[in-house]
Structure 1
């Protein structure tokens, strides 16, 4: 359903031309639905430690003398001053300020790496490459050469057998012979790390992990990302949100002091014009992952005729049902109930995010 969109301040704008940009519209319809993990897979993360190969991600490598400055002029965050010991979230917007992709960015030697949802990678890489022009920068798909592993829970001892040191803070990165290890935000009080490196070297180390950690479904990582309150732009929600709608300003994915990038005026205006009326919240809802999907609309009990929000990400929950991050009008959270798909659909039960949102006045 093609419904009018709104800026973060709540002003309806409609979609830019009724369709997404051509390069994005040509992308696949979304990632395959992952089966519901077993209870033992969720328990492994919470009670012990687990690792999971993350097949839902791809990696774009940016190389060349101008790679950092080129990306600095395209993304919402600062890549010009990205140091070797840090990683940063960033978004890539259309000229209308709507997110086409979200990334975790970091340096690997002279390369800047972009971790991105695999279903938007090819289209976004193609679109970015169109704007390289005379810059000494090249974007390549590194997904075939690299493995991406998520680790969660009590995993430090296992990782210390691979890396000489472990990151001591969120978005701190260390490098070793087997690649890069980045600490990402905790979920449910459990530590989480991303390990990205050459496939052969990582695969040679997995037997060591198997001695102490349980290998679980990548769907568990999607659930942990949701419980960490960290949205990810996938194909079904391309060009639906300005960054503030998915809390990217709160999560440090937008640098409001950097220079221009596509959509920067819209993003800045949404930040400084006054009250932000739409945000992303955490909730749970009855259903299965094949029916509760990103892009599904939400409806309020008091206003059944028009949507009040949209599912950003969804993943199977341990106790049954599906946990979701939803972009929603803040006014819809004040009273009544919010439902999936229609005002008569399953009701959402809202949960506390693991971080605070700015108090709007």
Structure 2
């Protein structure tokens, strides 16, 4: 794999000096200076530069109203001390992006993978028309640090006197914005959004308390928390309910129209949902195996047709992977699901960390 050696921003250059690497397999994906941390080490405390994430800044007096009419969640009533998940859908109700959204003054910030940001931002900008809204790429003006584990609170205390008390609560201070997201590894997780200069100043102190880790560990935490992320291979493949997005708070069914709203609502209210997302683990035969979003899975009960698709996958140990998998609900009852083909490696289904409303 070829390492990115040109067009690096000062923050990426700083991380390279700390032993991080950046490879072209995923846009600006930070690979940690030591082998992948175990879940036990992550539970103790870690800090990961989330350089694979991008930020869009929508500013102006009509920014919230504009995004309210584009996204699946209520943006007009989004408070200053909270963040929300939201999806951006096509006219057919299929997810183009999964987003973390929060306010900052007169701006609304949208976080999503850098890989899909340019196309999503361009599409959203097409609909601004005469609205009093300006859209900008804020990715290089901000650093996103993922911080989790038992020592996270102590590590953040020098900059934040009070931590957000629950997932998707938000705190602002001179040091930037702190958002608590879904817990994983048995402990809270936080995203600290800060300027590159502040991040460089804070890093040595953070690294004294927390283990530096690659962005893959953060994405593993998202998988274990049951929070899907739409990537290029899965754009326009899922209605939000197929990946449990309404269960984790990403869809508001009482708000007004947005692209695909009729189909999303119809999926919710007309009959039982026939596809859902599950958490699974997988053991592979060799080191370096590539398990990725978009790969098909098959049920032993129907070897001819795929019964679902990998939503996200990350290594969880030597020859071990954790996956979020979208499946036909009937396949969940079959009990034997395999990657790639019916004779392929068997998935071990795990309980999700949240209750499903349509569970038997």
* TM-score strictly above 0.5: yes
- Root-mean-square deviation (CA, aligned residues, Å) is 1.9
Alignment check: 8 A CA contact 2:46 2:148 kept: yes
Q: Which residue of 2 aligns with 1:151?
A: 147
Deviation at 1:43, TM superposition (A): 3.3
Deviation string for 1:317-357 (max 9, x for gaps)?
Answer: 13531110000011101124111111111110111100011
* 1:354 corresponds to 2:350: no
Q: Which residue of 2 aligns with 1:341?
A: 340
Q: How does 1:217-296 map to 2 (within 5 A)?
A: 217-287=214-284, 291-296=290-295
Q: Which residue of 1 aligns with 2:115?
A: 119
Count of aligned residue pairs for this structure pair: 333
177, 193, 198: which one aligns with 1:196: 193
Moved over 3 A (4+): 28-37, 39-43, 287-290
Deviation at 1:198, TM superposition (A): 1.2
Q: State the alpha-carbon separation in 1 of the partners of residues 39 and 297 from structure 2.
A: 27
Deviation at 1:295, TM superposition (A): 0.2
User: Relative contact order, CA 8 A, sep 6+: which one is greater?
Assistant: 1
Q: Which residue of 1 aligns with 2:320?
A: 321
Deviation at 1:202, TM superposition (A): 1.9
Instruction: Judge which range, 163-172 or 226-235, deviates more.
Output: 163-172
Instruction: Judge which range, 30-39 or 214-223, deviates more.
Output: 30-39
* 1:208 corresponds to 2:205: yes
Structure 1 residues 167 and 360, CA gap change in structure 2 (3 angstroms): closer
Deviation at 1:360, TM superposition (A): 5.6
Q: Which runs of 5+ in 1 are unaligned?
A: 1-27
Structure 1 residues 306 and 29, CA gap change in structure 2 (3 angstroms): farther
Q: State the alpha-carbon separation in 2 of the partners of residues 190 and 321 from structure 1.
A: 22
TM-score (norm 1): 0.88
Q: Which runs of 5+ in 2 are unaligned?
A: 1-23
Instruction: Judge which range, 162-171 or 255-264, deviates more.
Output: 162-171
Instruction: Judge which range, 37-46 or 277-286, deviates more.
Output: 37-46
* 1:310 corresponds to 2:306: no
Q: Secondary structure at the match of 1:83?
A: coil
Q: Which residue of 1 aligns with 2:84?
A: 88
Q: Secondary structure at the match of 1:186?
A: strand
Q: Which residue of 1 aligns with 2:11?
A: none
TM-score (norm 2): 0.89
